[in-house]
Amino acid sequence: MKKPFYALRYISWIAIIFSLVGSFLLFIVGGLKTLNAFRVFFLDYIPQGKEHLHSADIGITYLIKSLDTFLIALVLFIFAHGIYTLFISNTSSTKNSGVLNWIQTPNIGHLKNVLAEVIVIILFVKFLEVVFVNIDNLQWNLLILPISIVLMAVGLKVLKLNKEESNITKK
């Protein structure tokens, strides 16, 4: 009975391949956004609808957007590596090779925690972008995003404290 389920683990290649393709695509998009920032700074490019902003503000907005895009690309890359490590590769050979030690994925819970932390950072960058673009026209409804970020961060902290406490009691 184990062999059919063991063979089905290879279906996770779909998630791995498309996450890597999406990551590659987002790296290209992030690069294009960075090039747009260079166009704004050095070629006086002003996109339609942004004429009211100073060119430096538009360039910085493009750089913030590229940062956000690169973060999402890295999330997809980490997700693909984590799925590969958990479902496809032999974890003992991966640990010994020393390749990509900075994103070791011992279990699915660790992968979810890493992804959740990066999502909080992405939301923070998005809030920074929204505030930067609307600096002259800030409204109260913009507070929804930072309140959500704080609640998610507190939730992650509480979840990690519970895991650390349960690990301490098990030892």
Amino acid (1-letter code) at residue 8 = L
Best CA proximity match to 142, nearest among 133, 129, 130: 130
At residue 152 the predicted structure's pLDDT band, cuts being 50, 70 and 90, is confident
pLDDT, residue 94, reads: 45
Mind listing the pLDDT tens digit for each residue in 53-68? 677 878 888 888 898 8
Encode pLDDT of 21-37 as tens digits.
999 999 999 999 999 99
Is pTM beyond 0.75? Reply is no
The domain containing residue 20 runs over which residues? Answer: 2-170
What average pLDDT score do residues 129-150 get? 77
Q: Are 156 and 117 in contact (CB under 8 A)?
A: yes
- Number of domains the chain is built from: 1
Tell me what the pLDDT averaged over the chain comes to: 78
In this predicted model, what pLDDT tens digit does every residue of 39-56 receive, in sequence order?
A: 888 887 787 766 666 778
Q: Are 156 and 113 in contact (CB under 8 A)?
A: yes
Contacts of 142 (CB under 8 A, 6+ apart): 127, 130, 131, 134
Torsions phi, psi for 86 (to 5 deg): -75, -35
Structure tokens at 155: 């939730």
